[in-house]
């Protein structure tokens, strides 16, 4: 997985049981379907990418917007990006 992930403009790296991930998904509402969701427990390449941008930690949600990774960004920031198309 690279920062310029071809799967979508906004990619969210997450894992089951993560409260911050669940909150982000809930706050995105209907916009959540415009996001590519990568479960790092099922995607080793995704997990490696998350570690590479978080000092070796699997900190989620890690959200890539316009090729730039953001660790646990505010749902408002992600919604604003999604609203731009």
Residue 29: what pLDDT? 93
CA separation for the pair 8, 61 (Å, rounded): 16
> pLDDT tens across 10-59, in order?
999 999 999 999 999 999 999 999 999 999 999 999 999 999 999 999 99
CA separation for the pair 49, 28 (Å, rounded): 23
Residue 83: what pLDDT? 87
pTM: 0.89
Local structure of 8: helix, strand or coil: coil
């Amino acid at each position: 997985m690279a920062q310029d992930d071809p799967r979508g403009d906004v990619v969210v790296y997450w894992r089951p049981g993560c409260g911050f991930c669940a909150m982000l998904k809930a706050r995105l509402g209907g916009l959540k379907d415009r996001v590519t969701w990568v479960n790092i427990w099922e995607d080793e390449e995704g997990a490696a990418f998350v570690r590479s941008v978080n000092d070796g930690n699997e900190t989620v949600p890690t959200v890539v917007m316009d090729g730039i990774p953001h660790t646990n960004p505010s749902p408002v920031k992600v919604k604003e990006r999604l609203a731009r198309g």
